[in-house]
Structure 1
């Protein structure tokens, strides 16, 4: 294959690598996040078939969970400069080092951004990577024989901060809306009500969606939980599969206890040729988009996230293809609705008849912190090389269905195609926001809800509703038996409740 007419500044993905280990299995080395990322980066460089380490001018690291919010401890220590620690391990001395903001959109966003930088001529060879060693950290944190992951790396760092603006508020935190399962459960129950499905029907659908994911994970050597499970097993509560937040059981939420790293290598066509990277390693980015949804309580419809659908649709349009043309798909799968939201918008089936993951998904392959989609990109690249001319989609989600980055890949050569994310984002930002009631008193109706289940058996209800008097949206908590019984009924959405403002927030004060 030869691409004589292509612009030498065109970005290409030329290398992809992954690394992993599981406690108690042969070869387990207690590797740190830096070591896991370095192992994946070395694999990506090797995968390119060329000696490119000395030519890497840009490195970009995805944040581990322990550096994604302020004040989180690192029981085993950590690097002061994660990107340069990894770069040093592989023999690279880049002029630019980036530490990306938090969020699962990060890997695809970095590919989109640095591909554009290569096309603009401000970079030539870029190494992107991320990793998590959460399983190792938790296992060894209390041990006298624990490893020390502390290290210092010299050099400047473009630290972009946490990127948490707009992803939560003190008001939401005061009402118990602090954890991802509760946030996503609100969306899930709103979608169930919109579809007019019973709890049993909806649970069966979540199981049918994710059962094929377990099959893919079972065949993936890097999967953290490589066990095939049936649809009913995934959604049936049990001692090992407890309810976390209605309607979620443990088996169908992202698995964070992983030891995984992934990396991809991007170059310009000119650099690839100069370095001797064979054209059969080249994978092109045909479409790409980065969009952000409105803040959670501002959204007009809590049963869907249209910005994510818009991101994927635009990436496909830019590539000149439809969803039906995709040979490989990986949709971010921290919770079922992260997948079904995009499928609903694109008309993709959610009954398990279409493969929607190349890795096995976050609950089964593993939710490698913010870096999951780097694994999806790496796996997609390998699959597409085996299917020359085919197309693959990676959809990467961050926050509470908040940030979405999409990429469409193929070995088919194409020049760089600028996206219209800025224009589309302006449209999203202009969408009308729902008026909210910071203090809510009186009667209203339930818009959506969840019940959080703690390990000790305690339960807390969270309700989003609309006041009957003026239609403003309210957020309320409940822990009384009467309200919890209502939230466990066949269909709480639309039920009439009374709310009352107190010094600590809005509470459900009665049902009617």
Structure 2
């Protein structure tokens, strides 16, 4: 059916992976990886690649790990303008370049934002790009013969900041929440407590969730670890599958040592027609939503995600479809919890015949930092072209289940429609919160926990409640008895003694 010529459509997608075990491995830079993906996306439009590149007014890039904080320089150097370095390599000179803050929600957020700008007539064409060179950084760490990825291109750049301050505070960082595994370990153990499951049973369920992901990764030519694994292999702790942070062995953790890139081209129907993009390439963003969760310690129930639930529901509403009618899913899967959070709310099962990933998931396909879901979008676009009339859902997660962005894609034409994210965000802001005590002293109980095996001394990380007033607190422990319970038993609900210290860390012992 005819639509407004300003209606946005995704017209090109591209992916690229450099595997460390490839005979021609050379350790590419973030710019080089993204460039290969952008070239693939331009080619995928089926139109004149040079003309499409020149028509793109906005290039929007996702921030890589090597430039995600101001606290250190990239070990191999980096471009001073990642986005324009890539644009220049493909013959583009966009009027506007954007560098997004950290957060795995970024790919879908940018697709939605720039699609809205196209629908409003502000621009006609945009490109979203992302890459991660974690494999290169690890390969050449500490070596004198590493490549120099420094590059000076200058030019306009809308740098939206780092954004990590949205995901942690001085208080949480002081108490060990300086990495994703421990943060999500708290959430998965809270969910285990809500379900009343033991440690072994819950680990089995996590492995059952992820085993089907490995089958998808094994068939994906862009996967960094294309190996099918059994439930037993994923759940059994071995030297190879060592514990990272409780409750996760290595095979349940996002694989961030990857070299991967992805890109997507979005333009108006009018621009697509003018540039000669075949209509068979057009994919409509039929539904969308972007929501932000409460801060971690404010959440009454650490085992659920209101933002994910409401964003998925809103995107489905906008698309005019329901979860039962979705043909494909790609749910963000850095750890089990983000997948479980959506499954719990919408009745999805690990063995759903539709599958819960199109890539193979972050632990197996690869977890290229903030740009993972751009690969999910690329796979969804390809699937929708092959399955006209179907709907594909992408769920993109950032922070500690902090931001959730959803897109529903289809070949079925429909004009752009705004979502209700602003009103839904107000609902989340109105949710009750839990009072937090920074300097905790006295008896308490363990609400949820993780264990950091990646520190020199195995350390327990605790979110608890004080017996005196039920306020929430954080604490660390190296107490032999308590650590033994946390690593070999089940400490949920255990009584502990907590004491504040001058260095700002609350210390816990088994009561």
TM-score computed with the length of structure 1 as normaliser: 0.97
How far apart are 1:489 and its partner, in Å? 5.2
In structure 2, distance between residues paired with 1:184 and 1:142:
30
Q: Which structure 2 residue ranges, 5 or more long, are not aligned?
A: none
Taking the TM superposition and a 5 Å limit, the aligned residue runs for 1:25-424 are 25-51=22-48, 52-351=52-351, 354-424=354-424
Equivalence for 1:24: 21
- Aligned pairs, how many? 508
Q: Deviations over 1:233-282 (max 9, x none)?
A: 11211111110111100111000111110000000000000111110000
Structure 2 residue matching 1:137: 3-state secondary structure: helix
How far apart are 1:495 and its partner, in Å? 1.6
Structure 2 residue matching 1:117: 3-state secondary structure: helix
Structure 2 residue matching 1:505: 3-state secondary structure: coil
Structure 2 residue matching 1:156: 3-state secondary structure: coil
Structure 1 residue matching 2:165: 3-state secondary structure: coil
How far apart are 1:508 and its partner, in Å? 4.3
In structure 1, distance between residues paired with 2:507 and 2:271:
62
Confirm whether residue 452 of structure 1 aligns to residue 449 of structure 2. Answer: no
Native 8 Å contact 2:479 2:510 kept in 1: no
How far apart are 1:30 and its partner, in Å? 2.9
How far apart are 1:232 and its partner, in Å? 1.2
Q: Deviations over 1:438-467 (max 9, x none)?
A: 1111111111011111375x3101111111
Native 8 Å contact 1:174 1:504 kept in 2: no
Structure 2 residue matching 1:488: 3-state secondary structure: helix
Q: Deviations over 1:302-330 (max 9, x none)?
A: 11111111111110111111111111100
How far apart are 1:67 and its partner, in Å? 1.0
How far apart are 1:351 and its partner, in Å? 4.6
Q: CA distance change for structure 1 residues 92 and 509 in 2, over 3 Å: closer, same or farther?
A: closer
In structure 2, distance between residues paired with 1:166 and 1:497:
30
In structure 2, distance between residues paired with 1:221 and 1:27:
16
Q: Name which of structure 1's ranges 260-269 and 442-451 shifts more when overlaid on structure 2.
A: 442-451
Equivalence for 1:463: 462
How far apart are 1:292 and its partner, in Å? 0.6
Structure 1 residue matching 2:384: 3-state secondary structure: helix
Q: Name which of structure 1's ranges 31-40 and 364-373 shifts more when overlaid on structure 2.
A: 31-40
Q: Name which of structure 1's ranges 165-174 and 205-214 shifts more when overlaid on structure 2.
A: 165-174
In structure 2, distance between residues paired with 1:455 and 1:300:
29
Q: Which structure 1 residue ranges, 5 or more long, are not aligned?
A: none
In structure 2, distance between residues paired with 1:509 and 1:153:
51
In structure 2, distance between residues paired with 1:509 and 1:283:
54
Structure 1 residue matching 2:350: 3-state secondary structure: coil
In structure 1, distance between residues paired with 2:366 and 2:165:
26
Equivalence for 1:505: 504
Native 8 Å contact 1:189 1:448 kept in 2: yes
Taking the TM superposition and a 5 Å limit, the aligned residue runs for 1:487-506 are 487-488=486-487, 490-506=489-505
In structure 2, distance between residues paired with 1:377 and 1:240:
32
How far apart are 1:435 and its partner, in Å? 0.3
Confirm whether residue 6 of structure 1 aligns to residue 3 of structure 2. Answer: yes
How far apart are 1:27 and its partner, in Å? 3.7
In structure 1, distance between residues paired with 2:345 and 2:80:
42
Native 8 Å contact 1:289 1:312 kept in 2: yes
Q: Deviations over 1:22-71 (max 9, x none)?
A: 12314434321111111111111110011211111111000111111112
Structure 2 residue matching 1:207: 3-state secondary structure: helix
How far apart are 1:498 and its partner, in Å? 1.5
TM-score computed with the length of structure 2 as normaliser: 0.97
In structure 2, distance between residues paired with 1:497 and 1:354:
45
How far apart are 1:198 and its partner, in Å? 1.2
Native 8 Å contact 1:212 1:352 kept in 2: no
In structure 1, distance between residues paired with 2:100 and 2:58:
13
Structure 1 residue matching 2:200: 3-state secondary structure: helix
In structure 2, distance between residues paired with 1:393 and 1:352:
14
Q: Deviations over 1:121-180 (max 9, x none)?
A: 111011110001110122124334322111111321111011223311111111112111
Native 8 Å contact 1:198 1:490 kept in 2: no
In structure 2, distance between residues paired with 1:21 and 1:179:
25
Q: Deviations over 1:368-414 (max 9, x none)?
A: 01000000100110011000011000000010110111000001111
Structure 2 residue matching 1:165: 3-state secondary structure: helix
How far apart are 1:509 and its partner, in Å? 4.5
CA RMSD of aligned residues (A): 1.4
Equivalence for 1:486: 485
